[in-house]
Amino acid sequence: MAISIKTADEMEKMRVAGRLAAEVLEMIGPFVKAGVTTEALNDICHEHIVNVQKAIPAPLNYNGFPKSIAIAVNHQVCHGIPGPKKLKNGDFINIDVTVIKDGFHGDTSKIFFVGEPTILSKRLARVCQESLYLGIGMIKPGIHLGDIGAAIQEYVERHGFSVVREYCGHGIGRVFHEDPQVLHYGKPGTGAILQKGMVFTIEPMINAGKRHVKLLGDKWTVVTKDRSPSAQWEHTIAVTDDGFEVLTQRKDEIIS
């Protein structure tokens, strides 16, 4: 699949989808608290996407995924299936939302703390978010995707954490997962060269322990092999004439 370059009309539709995805994360925050189940959070997001936004939750039935959002708790890395387990104080979760509106996708995720986070989980989440912002800040026509991956990897490892290799960011548009693959590790000067109109996600997954992960029996949920905490943040970004536009930026964020 060739990398798609979005037209001005397509880009405007991507902006709408991105804003809706960000809005879901803004909406769900007050519901994340001890005693709530991840299934209940899924249901609230589903109702908001379908009935308020008049949009489609992309994960639902995507290759058989049974829920409308993915939620990773503590040592889960990604693709966690919401279920009946209740959250407790000290947990931290990643909520991953993808919305389809008028045929275009907006994809984003955010970490939420349940009660008071541990020092380790707070630091892990902060470094992960900083690595995402570092990568976003590099985006402009002419640089290589490998430049971004290398910078994220160096930043994360310098802080004593590890980067998951098996899962990566991706191109996005009419299709949920398009080319190119966006690695969060690698070498400068490698990978696709960015050009105006490209749209892709950056979504680093980093572990407090070793980088190795395993897939659980549900064939979706990915966890750290050593059960160390894992963190992830994600945005959908467009390449502009001289930089970038974060299509899923939330109101509480300043990204420059």
Q: How far apart are CA 99 and CA 212, in angstroms?
A: 30
Whole-model pTM over 0.75 = yes
Write phi, then psi, for 222 (nearest 5 degrees).
-105, 130
What pLDDT is recorded for position 182? 97
> Over the stretch 87-128, which tens digit does the pLDDT of each residue have?
999 999 999 999 999 999 999 999 999 999 999 999 999 999
pLDDT value at 1 more than 70: no
What pLDDT is recorded for position 20? 98
State the CB neighbour count (10 A cutoff) for residue 189. 11
Q: Are strands 235-239 and 244-246 parallel, antiparallel or unpaired?
A: antiparallel
What pLDDT is recorded for position 256? 74
Q: How far apart are CA 44 and CA 31, in angstroms?
A: 9
Q: How far apart are CA 62 and CA 75, in angstroms?
A: 24
What pLDDT is recorded for position 2? 85
DSSP track, 200-251: EEE--EEESS-S-EEE-TTSS-EEETT---EEE-BEEEEE-SSSEEETT--T
CB 2 within 8 Å of CB 169: no
pLDDT value at 73 more than 70: yes
Write phi, then psi, for 245 (nearest 5 degrees).
-135, 125
pLDDT value at 181 more than 70: yes
192 pLDDT band (50/70/90 cuts)? very high
> Over the stretch 122-179, which tens digit does the pLDDT of each residue have?
999 999 999 999 999 999 999 999 999 999 999 999 999 999 999 999 999 999 999 9
Q: How far apart are CA 4 and CA 177, in angstroms?
A: 11
> Over the stretch 193-243, which tens digit does the pLDDT of each residue have?
999 999 999 999 999 999 999 999 999 999 999 999 999 999 999 999 999
Nearest to 207 by CA among 75, 95, 28: 75
What pLDDT is recorded for position 214? 98
Q: Where are the alpha helices (DSSP H) in the chain?
A: 8-28, 38-47, 119-137, 145-158
Mean of per-residue pLDDT scores for the chain? 97
Place of tokens 């209940």: 40
Nearest to 249 by CA among 30, 10, 8, 19: 19
